[in-house]
Amino acid sequence: MYVEMRNIYKQYGNFRASDNVSFGIEKGKLAALLGPSGSGKTTLLRMIAGLENPNAGDIFIDGNRVNDIPAAKREIGFVFQSYALFRYMTVYDNIAFGLKVQKADKTYIKKRVTELIELIGLKGLEKRYPSQLSGGQRQRVGIARALAVEPKFIMCDEPISALDVSIQAQVVNLLIKLQREMGLTYLFISHDLSMVKHISDRVGVMYLGSFVELASNEVLYSSPKHPYTQALISAIPEADPDYESQKEKTKLEGEVPSPLNPPSGCKFRTRCKYATERCAQEPPVFREVEPDHFVACHLFDKDGEK
Ligand code: ADP
Ligand code: MG
């Protein structure tokens, strides 16, 4: 595994934002996280980046435990939801920022930034300020800035959700092109189920701080097992004559419960049509129910009991 989290817990006061999360990404692959707002996706990324510390658990990058390594030394690129550029710096200076912090050689900085500007298709716009760019161009600068220091691992937190729909594909295509050309490993958060299906190798689904399902892209989209994942996947519009009836079958009732007062046992049970007494008492274990397919649900416990 290139990046691995083992038994991660993160507590904010009484509230648990990460509840025993274990998760790994192989080198050169793109892993995506799905899950409702507030399920703890951004918190996981911030812990991998070193912007937050877990209360318990270990984080490994390329085989090394990084819990005690400061953010600046973890060699991770971070592309945020809103472009988060320095408004008073030009395109050039925004991209050069990380290299200057590292005190890289001036000639090298010039060469690297020029190369990146070409790569993201913004040649000629070096001297512009963020306010003189379109949303898509700003996000390209954000991507170049993340890549400048040559990280091998890139995390993207909803990198396109603030962009106009018409340019979302361009930015995603740029990210994928860079991944292939540079052999990068990605962790991607998105609400766009179709996009995730299109770009990822592996998909994890979170709900109230825990993983409920993790599998390869193909398996997750073609045979989701957890009732929450089934509801998510069935909400993707498709040119399927049975779509409406299918959707009816897995329609999800109610809202995500307050994370401050999560349900006992399985945190999804209040919205699950299969919930039984056992689900209220015993939290399901996140386990491998088929090779490389992990699910946290009593429906898939080996003894067949509910
Ligand atoms: P997601 O990215 O899946 O929407 P987040 O990881 O941002 O979820 O947040 C998970 C939960 O942790 C949310 O309920 C959020 O309010 C809470 N949270 C995040 N950061 C903090 C913080 N610094 N202090 C207190 N609560 C936080
Ligand atoms: Mg988030």
Model confidence pLDDT, tens digit, residues 185-214 = 999 999 889 899 999 999 999 999 999 999
Closest listed residue to residue 197, CA positions, set 230, 174, 219: 219
Banded pLDDT at 306 (limits 50, 70, 90) = very low
Per DSSP, 209 falls in state T
Bridge partner list, 56: 9
Per-chain mean pLDDT for the chain: 90
* Ligand 1 atom nearest to 46, measured from its CA: 6
* Residue 127 tokens, joined: 């001297």
Ligand with smallest separation from the Cα of 33: 1
The pLDDT assigned to 242 comes to 56
- Of ligand 1's listed atoms, the one at least distance from the Cα of 157 is 2
Pocket test for ligand 1, best of 42, 205, 208 (most atoms within 8 A of CB): 42
80: CB partners within 8 A, 6+ apart: 142, 157, 159
CA triple 84-86-90, angle to 5 deg: 125
What is the 76 CA–ligand 2 centroid distance (Å)? 18
If one counts every other C-beta atom within 10 angstroms of the C-beta of residue 74, the result is 18
pLDDT tens for each residue of 35-86: 999 999 999 999 999 999 999 999 999 999 999 999 888 889 888 876 679 9
Residue of minimum CA distance from atom 17 in ligand 1: 17
- Which atom belonging to ligand 1 lies closest to the Cα atom of 206? 3
H helix count then E strand count, the chain: 10, 12
Ligand closest to the CA atom of residue 207: 1
Please state, in angstroms and rounded to a whole number, the distance separating the CA atoms of residues 180 and 203: 19
How many angstroms does the Cα of residue 191 sit away from the middle of ligand 2? Answer: 10
Chain position carrying tokens 């540079």: 182
DSSP readout, 70-134? -GGGS-EEEE-SS----TTS-HHHHHHHHHHHTT--HHHHHHHHHHHHHHTT-TT-TT--GGGS-
- Cβ neighbour number for residue 158 with a 10 Å cutoff: 18
Lining ligand 1 with CB less than 6 A are: 12, 17, 35, 37-43, 259
Mutate to test the pocket of ligand 1, among 8, 12, 53, 228 (most ligand atoms within 8 A of CB): 12
